[in-house]
Chain A
Amino acid sequence: MKKIPYYPGCTLKTTGKNFEDSAIATAKVLGLKLLEIDRWNCCGTVTSLTQDDLIHHIASVRNFIRVQEMNERGEVDDYRLLTLCSMCYNTLKSVSNVMQERPDDLDKINNFMDREEDYKGGVTVVHLLELIREMGFDEIKSKVKKSLGKLKVSPYYGCTLLRPKEVALDDPEVPTIMEDLLNAIGVDVIDSPKKSMCCGSYQTVRNPKTVVRLGYEIIESARKRGAEALVTSCPLCAFNLDDRQKEIKLEHPDFERMPVFYFTQLTALAFGLKKDVNNFDLNFTDPRPLLKKKKI
């Protein structure tokens, strides 16, 4: 089994545990062992967007040093760092790019971190969706044991997998990677024009009303086209689109709850994996009644 360094990030250990467990189980089926990097720390969750703000890149660079060490010790077969959370993916990949493009800034960071070995550069960041695409969607298809054909699901990309384009894992305007995966596992894919519209992100803390407005637009736009559920790869989108349905319902009394899956929960279902890897108790809107109705 191929071993790859894996960065979980904070939320996958708590409210996003359903994402982590289902992803690890999915990866196993695909012959991938995710080796959690030791002493990982927060990636920063968002990238510094000012030119002179190097201090906030350090958190990500420290994680790259862990990958470097794992490779030096021969524990892994890959110089790439695998992420599941879209925001970790975006932050780590942006920092990896900055360090590649601005060697002087990397020198400054290395000089500042005098208790760490120097980061030599070269660690690239990869999302599980990219690894799946690399294996080929036919490979995925061959692992499917259970038909999800009756499930009408709309992919929700959000921002951080697709933008800015230096970080994007697919075409920022016309992405297909999630559709390709969902098609491979036999889901009835519903396209929605708001699939890459921002859910409001961290505004959920300071301005939850904004998130309620955007969440309602995103969910209703998918529903109008026949979707029964959304699928995401971001624990913050999941909170904003799923947990905030409580507030959406207060604002719009006619609103009906819509389950939000992590894409790995659907692959785990399609691969016929043990039900406990999906931890559906952590999904705010319980998807089990829908699955039962569809006899899945």
Chain B
Amino acid sequence: MSKKIIEITDEGNAFLEKVNELSGQVVTLCDQCGTCSGCCPMAEEMDITPSQINRMVQLGQVEVLDLEAIWLCASCFTCTVRCPRGLDPSKICESLRQMTLRKAIDYMDIRDISEKEMRRLPQIAIVSAFRKFTG
């Protein structure tokens, strides 16, 4: 089986730098142990796992922004308290979401929520979802 060579482009490097800057983390510190993926309560519904998100960022793969996983993170900080490298994957995910939201592209549209559901949801749910999913 031939090995696939992944080339890190200048654009990819700039992307990694941007994520580091926004998150205040040094994403290259992640050594892919998988602790975050093992403890993430959302991992089973994600298209890639949290450690794979870190890997894609390390390799400068901007396509990570198009994946569902970064939006499924609920900022529960389980990975944050357990990462043996002292990284905060919640901040990495938030940075990735922000990169899209800051282009005025929202993940959630208020019109998709029925009036009945809007009346039922407590304010705390609505405000936090809008804070996380819209710019």
Contact = CB atoms under 8 A, between A and B. Distances in A.
Interface of A: 9-11, 14-16, 42, 44-46, 48-53, 56, 85, 87, 159, 162-165, 172-173, 197-198, 200-207, 210, 213-214, 235-236, 239, 243
A239 B41 contact: no
B40 to A, nearest CB: 9
Interface in B52-94: 71-72, 74-78, 80-81, 88, 90-91, 94
Contact of A198 (B76, B88, B107, B121): B76
A65 B109 CA distance: 34
B45 interface: yes
A180 B17 CA distance: 46
B20 to A, nearest CB: 10
A46 B122 contact: no
A239 B22 CA distance: 32
B119 to A, nearest CB: 11
Nearest to B121: A205
Interface of B: 21-24, 41-42, 45, 71-72, 74-78, 80-81, 88, 90-91, 94-95, 98, 107-108, 113, 120-129, 131-133
A165 B81 contact: yes
Contacts, number: 124
11 contacts: A10-B127, A44-B127, A45-B124, A46-B75, A85-B124, A163-B76, A201-B75, A202-B129, A206-B133, A213-B45, A239-B121
Given A9-B124, A51-B21, A85-B124, A159 B77 contact: yes
Nearest to B39: A197
A198 B124 contact: no
B132 to A, nearest CB: 6
Interface majority SS (helix, strand, loop, mixed), chain A: loop
A158 to B, nearest CB: 8
B76 A11 contact: no
A51 to B, nearest CB: 4
B80 A164 contact: yes
B74 A198 contact: yes
Contact of B122 (A44, A162, A172, A239): A239
Nearest to A159: B76
A201 B74 contact: yes
B72 A49 contact: no
Given A49-B95, A197-B41, A201-B128, 9 more contacts: A14-B123, A49-B91, A87-B124, A163-B81, A164-B90, A205-B125, A210-B72, A235-B122, A239-B122
